[in-house]
A and B are shown apart, each in its own frame.
Chain A
Amino acid sequence: MQRRTSRWLAAGALAASGALALTACGSGFSSGGGDDSGALTSSNKALSVLIGSSGDAETTAVKAAVADWSSSSGTKATVSAASDLAQQLAQGFSSGKPADVFYLSTDALAGFASNGSLLAYGDKLSNKDDFYPSLVKSFTYDKKFYCAPKDFSTLALEINTDMWKAAGLTDADVPTTWDQLETVAKKLTTAGHVGLGIGGEYARVGAFMTQAGGNLMNADSTKATADSAANVTALDYVKKLENDGTLKFAKDLGAGWGGEAFGKGLAAMTIEGNWITGGLQADYPDVKYTIVPLPKGPAGAGTLQFTNCWGIAADSPNQKAALALVEKLTSADDQLAFSKAFGPMPSIQSAAADWKKANPTLVPFLDAADYAKGVPTAKGAADVVTDFNSKIESLATSDPKTILEATQKNLEALVK
C-alpha cells in the first residue's frame, strides 16, 4: 500500500509539474493584441489567407487574385483552402498564430468577435460606403463594423419551364403574391412532382417570414422577434401549402436540398439562392428553368440574404498589408472576376450594373438586395436556428405558434 501511494504521488507530481510547465509556455503568448488603439500592426511578414472554398474554381480564382496583389504590393501571401474552416480558425486563434485574412460567416462573427480574435477594421476601409448597408449591418457586432462583406447571395424563385408549360401556364401567370403562388403550386402538382419543393429550414422558410413583415430577430440582431404575429402568419401559410400537398420539403422528397429536388424533377419550383445555377449546370444540365423574384407577402417583397466577409485576425503581425489585400479583393474588378469564376454577387453597389449586364438571367437575385433581410447574428444564434430548423422539419404536424414561442425564449436568452 505504501508503495502504491508513493507511486500515485509521483504521478501526481509529474502531472502537476507538466501543467505548470505548460502554464509557463502559455504565458508566453501575448494576451493582448485586440486593443482598440486604432493603430494597425505592420511588418514585412508574409500573409496567410485561409478560405472555405466551394471547389477548385473558387480556390484558383482566389489564389490568382491574391498572387496578383502580392506581385504588385511586394508582400508575400499564401492561400490555403480549409477543410473545416470554423475548426481551423478556432485552432489558429487559440494558438495565437491565426491566418491573417480568412473567410468568416455571419454565424461565426459574434463568437470570434466577442473573444477578441477579430480586428474591427470596417471603418478603415476606403471603399466602406460602397457596400450594401444591409450587408454592413450583418457584420456589425457591438456597434463596430468588423469586416468587409466578401460577396452575397439572395433567395429567388426558380421555375422549371417545361413543367410550367405542361401545366398550361404562361408568363402572365408568374406568381407575384402568396395567393398566386398557392394557385400555381396547385396547378403544378402532379403525381410525379410537387409544385414547390424547398429546403425545410429557416434559411428558406424565413423568406416567407420577411414577406409577412417578420424575422427571427431585428435587423441589428439585438432583439428577439420570433413570436411576432407576422411570423405566425408566414408559418401558417407554409403549413397550409404543405397540408395541401402542393409544397414539400426537399428531405421529404428524398433530396438533400431544394436544388437537388428541382434538378431531379421532383419539384416544379424551388426557392434557392444564386448558387443553384452552378449546381444545376454541373449535375442537371438538361433542366430548363427561369428565375423570378419571390412573390410578395402581406407586408410586401421580402427575401433572405447570405454573406461572408474577409476577417482579419487581431493577432496578425501585418494588419496593414491585410487591410490593403482586403480592399483589393473587394474591389469591383476582383469581385466581378470572382463572380465569373464561381458565381456569387458582388457586395459593392458600384459593381451592380456591370454584373447585371454580364448575368441578365440572374438579375432577380441582385434586385432583391434592396429588400433582403439578414439572418440573426447574435452570439449563439446559430444554435437556436438549428433548433428551430429541427422543429420546422415537422411543421406539417405541429403548431407554428408553439415552435415560434420556443424559439423566442431561446433567442431572448442570447440578448439578455
Chain B
Amino acid sequence: MLAEVRMDALKIRATFVRDARLMMSYRLVFLLDWVAIVASVASLWFVSRLVPASVAFGGGHVATYFDYAVINVAFLTLQGAALQCFENSVRNDQVYGTFEAVLATPTRVSLVVLGAGAWAFTLAAIHIALYLAMGSLFGLHLDRVNLATLALFLILAVTATVPVGIIGAATIVRFKQAAPTQTIFGRASSLLAGVLFPISLLPLWLQAVSWMLPITHALSGIRGAFRGASPADSWPDLVWLAVATIVLLPISLVVLRGAIARAKRDGTLGQY
C-alpha cells in the first residue's frame, strides 16, 4: 500500500517535471504571463483611485477597491488552473499523440489526468504570489491575514473547482472537443463571482446564480482571510465548498472513468 502511494507520488512528480519543462520551452509565453500580471495590478490600482473605500468591499468593514479587486483577480487564477489544466493536458496529449503511449504504461488514468494539476496549481500559486507581491508595492494590505482560514479556503477552492475541470477533461476524451466549462465558468465568474464588483450590485436572480458558483464562496472566504476572519467567521462558505467537494469530486471521477471506458470501446482514446 505504502509502496503504491510512493509510486503514485513519483509519477505525479514526473508529470510535474514534464509540464514544467514543456512550459519552460515556451519562455516568451512564460514571461508574458508575468508581464500581464504586472499590467493587471497596475490597471486595478488606477481604477481604484476613482473608487472610494466602502463597506461593500469588506464584508461589513471598510475596505479599498484595490484590496478587494487584487485579491479576487489573484485567486481567480486558481479556478482558471482547475478548469483548464486537466482538459488541456488531455487535449495536448491527444494532439501530441502521447495519450496512448502514456496510457499504455502501468499508470491509472485518473493519476495521468490529475497529475496534470501538480504543475498547473504550482504555477497558479506562483502567479498569486506575484499578484500579491505586486499588489503590496501598490499598497495592498497584507498585515491582517488569517493563515489558517486562507489555507482552508485555498484547499477547498481547489477541491470544489477541480471536479468541473475533470468533467471538462472527460468531455474531451469522449467528444474530442472542448467542453463549455471553461467558457461558462470562466466568463461567468468574472461577471457573477464578485471579482471586479460586489455581487450585492447584481439583480437578485443573478445573485442566486452567483451563489451556485464555487468560486463565489472561495473568493468570499479568501477575502475574509485577508481581513483576519477566522474559519468560524466564514463557516457558511466553508460548508458550501466542502459539500460541493464531497458531492462533485466522486461524480467527476465516475464521469471521467466512464468517458475513458467508452473511448476504449470505440477505439478513440488517442483521437482528437
Question: Do A and B assemble together?
Answer: no
